Amino acid sequence: QIRDSLTGLFNYQGLIQQLDGYYGQNIGIIVLDIKDLSKINELYGRIEGNNAINTIAHLLNTVVENGISCRLGNGEFVCVIPNQEKSADKILSIKKKICTKLKNLKKFQYELDIYTGYDFGCIGNKKHFEKLLNSAIGYKNSKKIRENKIQSTHIFSDEERQEISLVREILDDNLFKYHFQPIVNARTGEIYAYEALMRADIIPSLSPLKILKYAEYLERLYDVERSTFFNILNKLENENLLPEGKKIFINSIPGNLFQGEDAINIEQKIKQYAGTLVVELTEQAEISDEELARIKDVYESIGIETAVDDYGTGYSNVSNLLRYMPNYVKIDRLLLSKIQESPQKQHFVREIIEFAHDNNIKALAEGVETSEELQLVIHLGVD
């Protein structure tokens, strides 16, 4: 199947098949992502969300005449356009035309808008194309993150100011503790690995999400990353916590690369756990393709596997999974909660699992809490 069943556009497999005539040529790539599609589904219903997706697909069919349009998944699309001009002028013109036509639409009870990214260059093979595509996706995602940061900026209340003060104390004094959550093999029921979960070692406590939120505001995410790796690796080294043959998953914020002595010391410690350590990369992190490639090269060279966390919500999409190409994809618990009652969730999760397995990626189901959820995710094929 090379067509998307909802829109009729090519899916990613279909797009790759259509590229044969483009190799050796200059092309432009435009990536589009519907703003707040999850909110549209939540407020107006999934039928309206599908209407928004089909509207964008129809727009692309109208505007992109000499090229390939593809739906990557959910609300994300990509257009591949011949570009003999060897500049961004033609690509920017088409992107502007798409945005102008979208603004002139008056058929919705809400504002239908998109995030966009683009790049252009000559492609000699599939690998060249994927690099160009990832660059366009990275550009789109960085704009998305910046805009969301601006929208979330506000004046802090007294309670929030107290929480910021607590986070400063936690970061200054390394007041973290860790719990080790088992990851269970869906075939055998045996414990396959453990995920190290960060908690604040302070009273009153703060949730990890609040710690990350205020650490970002304080521009101290690097301190969270540094504490996480050093604390967990030191515990493994000094307390002999890890049962033999089990893996350990550590959360990482890849936009905060270790510097100087930290980088040297962390790499030396990590090498001790080659084949055992799995680093979870958060997609929300603003990171260039060059930085991501360097991180993956370092991990691969010393035998460290990677995972994408919380997949299926937020910034998650097929293109980002292609960009990270991890060893594991962790499907977000919001997609799994009461999944037995939702055919839509079942369909989406099945597609994620099939895509993962087709690309030699293990699929993990997070936050399964009932026997009904357990039976269904096993039936859908999670690892």
Regions in the chain scoring below 70 on pLDDT: 86, 146, 149-154, 283-288, 313-320
- Closest by CA position to 308, among listed 280, 286, 335: 280
Q: How many residues does the chain have?
A: 383
Q: What is the pLDDT of residue 238?
A: 79
Kindly give the residue spans of alpha helices, DSSP state H, lying in the chain.
12-18, 37-44, 46-63, 89-103, 126-152, 158-173, 208-217, 221-239, 260-271, 289-301, 318-324, 343-358, 371-380
Q: What is the pLDDT of residue 284?
A: 54
Residues 114/35, Cβ–Cβ less than 8 Å: yes
According to DSSP, the residues that pair with 363 across neighbouring strands are 329
Long-range contacts of 128-133 (CB under 8 A, 24+ apart): 129/19, 129/22, 129/27, 130/322, 131/289, 132/27, 132/29, 133/29, 133/31, 133/78, 133/319, 133/322
Cα–Cα distance measured from residue 77 to residue 60, given in angstroms and rounded to the nearest whole number: 9
Residue 48: φ, ψ to 5°: -70, -35
The SS3 assignment for 334 reads helix
- Closest by CA position to 119, among listed 147, 145, 139, 96: 139
Q: Which DSSP letter does residue 3 get?
A: B
Q: What is the pLDDT of residue 77?
A: 96
Residues 324/311, Cβ–Cβ less than 8 Å: no
Cα–Cα distance measured from residue 281 to residue 321, given in angstroms and rounded to the nearest whole number: 11
- Look-up: residue for tokens 């010391």? 265
- Closest by CA position to 135, among listed 246, 299, 293, 301: 293
Q: Tokens standing for 230?
A: 């050093």
Residues 70/7, Cβ–Cβ less than 8 Å: no
End-to-end CA distance of the chain: 25
C-alpha to C-alpha distances, 357 to 15, 91, 190, 350, nearest whole angstrom: 20, 34, 21, 11
Cα–Cα distance measured from residue 174 to residue 223, given in angstroms and rounded to the nearest whole number: 9
> ∠ at Cα 262 (260, 263), nearest 5°?
70
pTM of the model: 0.64
Q: What is the pLDDT of residue 275?
A: 84
Cα–Cα distance measured from residue 315 to residue 329, given in angstroms and rounded to the nearest whole number: 14
